[in-house]
Amino acid sequence: MTRISTLLTIAVLTGCASVPAPLQGNYTVIAAREAEVGNQVRIGGSVIETTPTADATCLEVLGKPLLASAKPRDGDATEGRFLACKKGNFLDPEVFARGRAVTLTGTVESFVDERIGDAPYRMPKIDVAEIVLWPERTEPTIIVEHPPFWGWPFCGRYGCW
């Protein structure tokens, strides 16, 4: 009986960690700073800026480690920045807004030299094949309900007894 419950638990947990269909496949999962031109990659992180142009939309992304589900991890760990450009598609900057989590697949096309403040920064440019915008993260709402006559019968108008 213990074996069956263990196997069921593993099956349920494995099902929860499946990669969305557009992101499935054999890809190099690497940090942005380790990319090489020509690599087929699955990479993700938090959107920093979205810039639509006439023929593509480019996202500057702060790379994050990916979970087994291919969703970027929460937290401060970073794998460097990268530029992800989806040709022929308009990705609305209000939807692909700062802080939104994305995971994408594509090919490392080249490297771009940018500046972050006064510091020079070299980041890979990804030609995006597929992109997944993850649902917004929301803070949990905690509701504390007190029972009727809170403190009664031990606390009253003249103190507690």
Question: Which residue ranges form the domains of the chain, and what is each CATH number?
Answer: 20-137 (2.40.50.140)
Below-70 pLDDT ranges, the chain: 1-17, 28, 143-161
Per-residue confidence (pLDDT) for residue 4, from 0 to 100 = 46
Residue-wise pLDDT tens digits, 28-48: 677 777 888 998 999 999 999
What would the two tokens of residue 60 be?
Answer: 């500057």
> And the tokens for 119?
């510091």
Given this model, what pLDDT does residue 35 score? 82
**How much is the pTM?**
0.72
Q: Is-contact 126 59, C-beta < 8 A?
A: no
Determine the Cα–Cα distance for residues 156 and 150; give it in Å rounded to an integer: 10
Cβ-count burial 29-58 (b if 16+ within 10 Å, e if not): ebebeebeeebebbbbbbbeebeeeeebbb
Cβ contact 79:32 at 8 Å: yes
Determine contact, residues 121/54, Cβ cutoff 8 Å: no
Tell me what pLDDT residue 126 has: 95
**159 strand-pairing partners:** 156
- Residues with Cβ within 8 Å of 138's Cβ and at least 6 positions away in sequence, in order, are none
